[in-house]
Protein backbone atom coordinates (compact mmCIF):
# COMPACT_ATOMS: atom_id res chain seq x y z
CA UNK A 1 0.00 0.00 0.00
CA UNK A 2 1.29 3.47 -0.86
CA UNK A 3 2.41 5.64 2.05
CA UNK A 4 -0.20 8.33 1.31
CA UNK A 5 -2.94 5.67 1.53
CA UNK A 6 -1.62 4.53 4.91
CA UNK A 7 -1.54 8.13 6.11
CA UNK A 8 -5.14 8.58 4.97
CA UNK A 9 -6.28 5.42 6.76
CA UNK A 10 -4.56 6.49 9.99
CA UNK A 11 -6.14 9.92 9.65
CA UNK A 12 -9.60 8.46 9.16
CA UNK A 13 -9.18 6.24 12.22
CA UNK A 14 -8.14 9.26 14.31
CA UNK A 15 -11.06 11.25 12.93
CA UNK A 16 -13.54 8.53 13.90
CA UNK A 17 -12.22 8.47 17.48
CA UNK A 18 -12.36 12.26 17.61
CA UNK A 19 -15.95 12.29 16.35
CA UNK A 20 -17.08 9.56 18.73
CA UNK A 21 -15.46 11.44 21.63
CA UNK A 22 -17.60 14.44 20.64
CA UNK A 23 -20.79 12.35 20.70
CA UNK A 24 -21.13 11.51 17.02
CA UNK A 25 -22.61 8.12 16.15
CA UNK A 26 -20.79 6.69 13.14
CA UNK A 27 -23.30 5.38 10.59
CA UNK A 28 -20.96 4.47 7.73
CA UNK A 29 -17.38 4.89 6.57
CA UNK A 30 -15.94 5.04 3.07
CA UNK A 31 -19.43 4.94 1.54
CA UNK A 32 -19.22 4.82 -2.25
CA UNK A 33 -21.63 5.84 -4.96
CA UNK A 34 -20.38 5.65 -8.52
CA UNK A 35 -16.94 7.27 -8.54
CA UNK A 36 -17.65 9.32 -5.39
CA UNK A 37 -16.86 8.49 -1.78
CA UNK A 38 -17.86 9.93 1.56
CA UNK A 39 -15.26 9.29 4.26
CA UNK A 40 -17.58 9.29 7.29
CA UNK A 41 -21.33 9.54 7.69
CA UNK A 42 -22.52 10.16 11.22
CA UNK A 43 -25.47 11.28 13.31
CA UNK A 44 -25.07 14.20 15.70
CA UNK A 45 -27.87 16.04 17.50
CA UNK A 46 -30.52 14.61 15.13
CA UNK A 47 -28.51 15.81 12.11
CA UNK A 48 -27.06 13.60 9.39
CA UNK A 49 -23.45 14.70 8.97
CA UNK A 50 -21.28 13.98 5.93
CA UNK A 51 -17.62 14.31 6.87
CA UNK A 52 -14.60 14.69 4.63
CA UNK A 53 -11.32 13.72 6.31
CA UNK A 54 -8.13 15.31 5.01
CA UNK A 55 -4.74 14.27 6.32
CA UNK A 56 -1.29 15.71 5.69
CA UNK A 57 2.11 14.62 6.95
CA UNK A 58 3.29 18.18 7.49
CA UNK A 59 2.14 21.75 7.13
CA UNK A 60 4.48 22.71 4.29
CA UNK A 61 1.83 22.58 1.58
CA UNK A 62 -0.92 24.35 3.50
CA UNK A 63 -3.70 23.24 5.73
CA UNK A 64 -5.47 19.98 4.81
CA UNK A 65 -8.93 21.54 4.85
CA UNK A 66 -7.99 23.86 1.98
CA UNK A 67 -7.90 20.81 -0.30
CA UNK A 68 -11.70 20.52 -0.15
CA UNK A 69 -12.28 22.77 -3.14
CA UNK A 70 -15.47 23.40 -5.10
CA UNK A 71 -15.09 20.26 -7.21
CA UNK A 72 -14.61 18.09 -4.11
CA UNK A 73 -17.59 19.75 -2.43
CA UNK A 74 -19.78 19.01 -5.46
CA UNK A 75 -18.63 15.37 -5.48
CA UNK A 76 -19.43 14.98 -1.77
CA UNK A 77 -22.78 16.67 -2.30
CA UNK A 78 -23.73 14.33 -5.16
CA UNK A 79 -22.82 11.28 -3.12
CA UNK A 80 -24.71 12.67 -0.11
CA UNK A 81 -27.82 13.20 -2.25
CA UNK A 82 -27.62 9.59 -3.40
CA UNK A 83 -27.16 8.37 0.19
CA UNK A 84 -30.14 10.40 1.41
CA UNK A 85 -32.34 9.11 -1.40
CA UNK A 86 -31.19 5.51 -1.06
CA UNK A 87 -31.81 5.50 2.70
CA UNK A 88 -34.90 7.75 2.65
CA UNK A 89 -33.52 10.18 5.25
CA UNK A 90 -35.64 13.16 6.17
CA UNK A 91 -33.33 14.87 8.65
CA UNK A 92 -31.32 18.06 8.65
CA UNK A 93 -27.99 17.61 6.85
CA UNK A 94 -24.59 19.12 7.52
CA UNK A 95 -21.17 18.91 5.85
CA UNK A 96 -18.07 18.89 8.05
CA UNK A 97 -14.34 18.61 7.45
CA UNK A 98 -11.91 16.97 9.85
CA UNK A 99 -8.36 18.04 9.05
CA UNK A 100 -5.42 16.15 10.53
CA UNK A 101 -1.81 17.23 10.28
CA UNK A 102 1.03 14.98 11.42
CA UNK A 103 4.24 16.50 12.70
CA UNK A 104 7.41 14.74 13.87
CA UNK A 105 6.28 14.31 17.48
CA UNK A 106 2.53 14.98 17.46
CA UNK A 107 -0.57 15.49 15.37
CA UNK A 108 -3.26 18.15 15.31
CA UNK A 109 -6.96 17.68 14.58
CA UNK A 110 -9.18 20.54 13.44
CA UNK A 111 -12.92 19.93 13.08
CA UNK A 112 -14.90 22.35 10.93
CA UNK A 113 -18.65 21.99 11.41
CA UNK A 114 -20.82 23.38 8.60
CA UNK A 115 -17.66 23.62 6.52
CA UNK A 116 -19.56 24.15 3.29
CA UNK A 117 -23.10 24.43 1.98
CA UNK A 118 -23.65 22.63 -1.33
CA UNK A 119 -26.29 23.85 -3.71
CA UNK A 120 -27.28 20.36 -4.92
CA UNK A 121 -29.37 19.41 -1.89
Q: How high does pLDDT run on average in the chain?
A: 89
pLDDT tens per residue, range 50-74:
999 998 886 666 788 888 999 999 9
User: What are the backbone dihedrals phi and psi of residue 42, each rounded to the nearest 5 degrees, phi first?
Assistant: -145, 165
When comparing pLDDT for 20 and 107, which is higher? 20
pTM value is 0.90
- The domain limits of the chain are 3-112
Q: What is the assigned CATH class of domain 3-112?
A: alpha beta
User: What are the backbone dihedrals phi and psi of residue 25, each rounded to the nearest 5 degrees, phi first?
Assistant: -105, 115
pLDDT at 48 over 60: yes
Asked if residues 100 and 14 have their Cβ atoms less than 8 Å apart, the reply is yes
Amino acid sequence: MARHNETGQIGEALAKVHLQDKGYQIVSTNWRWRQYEIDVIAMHDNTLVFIEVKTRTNGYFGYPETQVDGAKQRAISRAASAYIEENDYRLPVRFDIVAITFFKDHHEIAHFEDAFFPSEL
